[in-house]
Amino acid sequence: MLEVISNNIAATVATIGLCLYFFGTAIVFIAKPKKYAENYSMCPKDEAGVTEIRVYYGGISFALGLFLAILAFVFKQPFYSLVGGLIFSNTVFWTRLIFTFVDKGWKCSYTKLAIPAEGLFIIALWTCFAIAVAVEGALA
pTM confidence score: 0.89
Domain boundaries, the chain: 2-134
CB 14 within 8 A of CB 125: yes
Of 65, 109, 113, the closest CA to residue 88 belongs to 65
Answer yes or no: is pLDDT of 130 > 90.
yes
Per-residue pLDDT tens for 65-85?
A: 999 999 999 999 999 999 999
Instruction: Give the integer Cα–Cα distance in Å for 101 and 62.
Output: 29
